């Protein structure tokens, strides 16, 4: 019999996921329902829904979980599970899966890409050529990336992949994490402020939790300083955004490369005016190859669950 899967993933994120889900399940596409009717739509289908497919931007809060009495599994099209009430899922015996590993390279590539874009002014230079300015003026010198100290917050899969790439650019690596990783030769700092004081580029690569919310605050920004560059490929809520904006306005920070924001897809408009800021639309995992691999994991986990097989990438 067909299994009802409530999907919170908009088609623009992965048409392939939608197509593959459609082949196997009865897919309830919440994103096709107009906003005012969403709650009623969930209510009307509440007893038949056995699975949810969420993503980095939309997960399942306690209210949604409680409203679905026959919910068995949440399969997230993301590695981050900060939008899912994991505690609630544990309590109720609801399984949760994510998409680790397959996106690590792309997200790490984007971290290095952002650092190069900010420091070598790639986007500004592109605008300079396209606008015809090159014919009129002098090209401004930029800042070297090779050899600069890269500080990484969170040395998990993605943090390590960023480190590996930065090492190839001859960058000394420093990091902050909950525990020192003695097996790695990188320099450990027990606080984020110490890490920031000793880094040229600071990369946020940790999961979003209660402890890491606003891990980039005024004190950390000031420790990074007027030549420092902040790269955020984690979550918007890792950064105190108004503090970031004031630091940039006041020249207390050298630059920022951001893939994520507190209130996506809203981005503080004040950021649009800075040439030392590069803004991406939460695109870290956004390649066809990776999004397809993520989709395969989302589906593989759902199939495993409903066939009573071990989950591929369980979180809960």
The number of residues that bind ligand 8YV (CB under 6 A) is 11
Total residues belonging to the chain: 316
Closest C-alpha to 110, from 234, 206, 264: 234
Three-state SS letters, 121-169: CHHHHHHHHHCCHHHCCCCCCCCCCCCCCEEEECCCHHHHHHHHHHHHC
Pick from 5, 6, 103, 239 the residue near ligand 8YV by CB under 6 A: 103
Q: Is 275 a catalytic residue?
A: no
Q: Is 18 a catalytic residue?
A: no
Burial class (CB within 10 angstroms; exposed 0-12, middle 13-18, buried 19+) of 45: middle
- Alpha-helical regions (H) of the chain: 15-24, 38-45, 62-66, 86-92, 104-119, 122-130, 157-168, 192-197, 218-224, 241-249, 288-306
Pick from 7, 75, 78, 212 the residue near ligand 8YV by CB under 6 A: 78
Pick from 13, 28, 111, 119 the residue near ligand 8YV by CB under 6 A: 13
Does residue 77 interact with ligand 8YV by CB under 6 A?
yes
**CA 143 to chain CA centroid, nearest Å:** 26
Q: Is 235 a catalytic residue?
A: yes
Does residue 282 interact with ligand 8YV by CB under 6 A?
yes
Contact yes or no for 296/269 (Cβ under 8 A): no
Does residue 175 interact with ligand 8YV by CB under 6 A?
no
Pick from 75, 104, 232, 285 the residue near ligand 8YV by CB under 6 A: 285
User: Choosing from 235, 237, 238, 305, which is the catalytic residue?
Assistant: 235
User: Choosing from 72, 124, 180, 264, which is the catalytic residue?
Assistant: 264
Shortest Å distance, C-beta 102 to ligand 8YV: 9
Does residue 100 interact with ligand 8YV by CB under 6 A?
no
Q: Is cis: bond before 265, omega within 30 of 0?
A: yes
Does residue 261 interact with ligand 8YV by CB under 6 A?
no
Does residue 186 interact with ligand 8YV by CB under 6 A?
no
Q: Which is nearer to ligand 8YV, 171 or 316 (CB)?
A: 316
Q: Contact residues for ligand 8YV (CB under 6 A)?
A: 13, 55-57, 77-80, 103, 282, 285
Active centre residues (catalytic): 235, 264, 282
């Amino acid at each position: 019999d067909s299994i009802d899967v409530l999907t919170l993933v908009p088609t623009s994120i992965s048409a392939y996921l939608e197509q593959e889900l459609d082949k196997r399940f009865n897919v309830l596409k919440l994103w096709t329902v107009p906003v005012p009717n969403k709650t009623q739509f969930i209510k009307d289908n509440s007893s038949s829904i056995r699975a949810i497919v969420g993503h980095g931007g939309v997960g399942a809060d306690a209210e949604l979980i409680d409203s679905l009495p026959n919910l068995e599994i949440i399969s997230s099209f993301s590695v981050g599970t900060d939008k899912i009430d994991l505690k609630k899922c544990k309590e109720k015996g609801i399984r949760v899966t994510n998409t680790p590993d397959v996106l690590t390279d792309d997200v790490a590539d984007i971290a290095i890409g952002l650092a190069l874009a900010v420091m070598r002014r790639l986007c500004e230079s592109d605008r300079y050529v396209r606008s015809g300015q090159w014919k009129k003026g002098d090209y401004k010198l930029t800042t070297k990336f090779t050899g600069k100290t890269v500080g990484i917050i969170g040395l998990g899969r993605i943090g390590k992949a960023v480190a590996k790439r930065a090492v190839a650019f001859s960058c000394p690596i420093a990091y902050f994490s909950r525990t020192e990783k003695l097996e790695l030769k990188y320099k450990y700092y027990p606080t984020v402020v110490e890490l920031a004081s000793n880094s040229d580029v600071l990369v946020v690569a940790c999961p979003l939790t209660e402890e890491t919310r606003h891990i980039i605050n005024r004190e950390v920004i000031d420790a990074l300083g007027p030549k420092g560059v902040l790269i955020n490929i984690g979550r918007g809520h890792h950064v105190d955004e108004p503090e970031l904006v004031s630091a940039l306005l006041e020249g207390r920070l050298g630059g920022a490369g951001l893939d994520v924001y507190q209130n996506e897809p809203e981005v503080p408009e004040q950021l649009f005016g800075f040439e030392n800021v590069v803004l991406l639309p939460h695109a870290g995992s956004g390649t066809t190859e990776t999004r397809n691999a993520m989709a395969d994991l989302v589906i593989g986990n759902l199939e495993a669950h409903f066939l009573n097989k071990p989950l591929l990438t369980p979180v809960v």
